[in-house]
Structure 1
Amino acid sequence: IETVSIRNIANIPHLEFSPGPLTVISGENGAGKSSVVGAVSAALKGGSTSGMLRRGSSKGEVVLTLDRDGVPVVVTRRFTKKGSPLEVTEGGVPVSGPQGYLNEIIDAVVSNPDAFKQATPKEQVRMLLQASGVEVPLVEIATITGEPCVASGSAAEVIEQWRERIYHARTLENRAAKEHGATVTSLEASLLPEVGDVTEQAAALTQKAVDLAAEAEARREAARNKRNEAVDEVNRVLSAELQAIGDEVKPLLEEGLLELERLQAAKTAFDKAEGTRSVMEESRTKWDAAESRSIKMDRQLEQLEELRARVLGEIDIPGIDIADGEIRLNGIPFSSLSDSEKTKVAVNVARMRQAEAPVMFLDRMEILDDRNWESFCAHAAEHGIQVFAARRTDGPLKVEPNGKA
């Protein structure tokens, strides 16, 4: 931007100046510092006309002249209560689609450090990632995840989207593994002894019952033979012996039959448990599979974190990082930084954006200490960024086209 002309904007009736690489607009509160910065940025970017017109004026105007490779470009933004029409000429010829034209040749970054500092951590991260412009490593992400990757934001944002997706999937796998493991443990505890033991016990008791029955029958037969030999005496003795035999054998038979019934019921239950065994083995298979997938996702998350660290390392702000959803500088959360450190981060985020003619509009620069202000000015000069900076000082409005750090 080579010249600036402002008429009837905010509290500025008329102001003209030729800005340099670093133009410092200074003055006391209410002098019009922010109005100058706002007028030039509004001429390039447009936006709301609310509060732009000087009180009592029906129209205002900002005219800028630019040099594009030796060709003069004139930007005229008129402000009325109804809108802010834009006209642009290049070499004296009107440009079609003037706002799009300006957006292509000038990156007008309006940076109010306070606005960045007061944004939510999520918004601050978004602004940092958008400004970084680091290329999304689609091939590497696809290699790590085993799925096609499509850019849907900045590099770090895409990596974070995949990290959250895999982290959520791993949580589900861990939950499934825990549930299947609990099922296996519970079913193992509920299973009965081996069917072979039950069968052997049942067979032994069955044989015992048969032997007892045979013994009882033999003794009854002997008693009948005696009865045939001596009717009267034998009847008396036989009755007594039969009663004794019955008293002796009956409890044994009853006990054996009860035990046999118990074991037969146990065998039936065990047979049913075969279905339980099948369920248990199926759960064990699912358990193993879920744990295997979870381990694979652990490695994917590690690789994404390594890739994320490399991507963040490409951001041109020394010591910058993103952790737990917020910006960190040298490991310190943004919210815990000093005011000057926060401002330095905010300004650095703004200056990372690139364009054919990068221009920055900075307000409230008095909050930068001398060391950080000098550092920023040196960086802006190194990267060819034209700066319009408002700083509060004592005295009236003052425009220094070749402002000193």
Structure 2
Amino acid sequence: MGTTIMMPTPTATPPDVTTFERLESQVRSYSRAMPRLFNRAEGVWMEDAQGGRYLDLLSGCSSLNYGHNHPVLKQALLDYIAADGIAHSLDLHTAAKQAFLIELERTILVPRGLSYRAMFTGPTGTNAVEAALKLARKVTGRQHVIAFTNGFHGMTLGSLACTGNAGKRDGAGVPLNHVSHEPFDGYYGPGIDTADLLDQRLSDPSSGLDQPAAILVEAVQGEGGLNVASADWLRKIADIAKRHGALLILDDIQAGCGRTGGFFSFEEAGIIPDIVTLAKSLSGMGLPFALALLRPELDQWLPGEHNGTFRGNCHAFVTATAALRHFWRDGTFEQTVHQRADLLGRRLHAIAAPYGDQMRVKGRGMMQGIDVGSGEIATRITAAAFARGVIIETSGAHNEVVKVLAPLTITEAELSQGLHILEQCVALAVTPHYSAAAE
């Protein structure tokens, strides 16, 4: 497809949307800000039923790192279905699962000096986090878990207890226990090392902080506002976990699969987490697929002690295998991602520069954005972008960060054009006489 962004068709909300308003739960969210009936997608583009065309800088919240319907992944799935390949298998041995495990070991684990066992936990990221927490408590015999401010780990009760956002936590309806939320890197600003503070508390038997089963952390907090943990801070956290007998769980659900440059977000820190959780872009095509990678000696499960019906999504195994083989067999794709990330960072800094301290760039790799100071302004920006054919979202405690999660396969021309529109939207949103009705 071409690189020219076509404006969405300027018509009223398609009548079909009333079906969702009538029958779908009020819990829906993205569709409220983007009320269109989408019906087709290819590469970095989405189309609606009335011919509107949109540049997707959201990528299914990092579930589509390789874009929509990548031809290599799509063909692999079509071939498998045409051959009557097994679609669902619980945890039975299948050729599709075997091929994925071999490719994972050969292409991802061995080159990085990693030795993990793969635990297929269920379809979504929160399944992987729940399994990791449960295993950490089983192995250590402890209950307490340390998570961090602004962290996001899922919406089921265990992972929700580790999530910081009050709006998400309030939906639980029950107490969210056995977790403390310690300050993330930079939480108190420069000059205060929060890793040292955590170590001091864990080393003090009178601090009131229970010895943890696990320390659960993101290298880059996606939903929390693109807060980046430095490599030095991550190394300290890994050391603290080891010295205090806790497992280090690295949540790479949004930041992994190349989003920050390397396949894993923690690679630049040189650490080896005890457990790594993956999901989102693991399947490569948005098919539900979550995974917990465990150090072999931690694999202390009894058969069936933790299970789930949709552990054996063979269609996801097929596309995941194709993605690893096509994108990660050598360093070419990773180098391209770094080039796109450099372009993204430079352009975001240029967009923010005229506004001085009012705005700042945050994030790492292809997971960057602009903190515009308030959720109101950020929402204006994303609304203006959608009106101009760009899909983008906000993040952060107050939704104050406009977050760019473009497909890693985006071309320089497409990315530049999208950022040009974003620059226009930022300028529009900060004008005194901005009117949402004009969009």
* TM-score (structure 1 length as normaliser): 0.25
Higher CA-based Rg: 1
Higher relative contact order, structure no. (Cα contacts within 8 Å, ≥ 6 residues apart): 1
* TM-score (structure 2 length as normaliser): 0.23
Higher helix proportion: 1
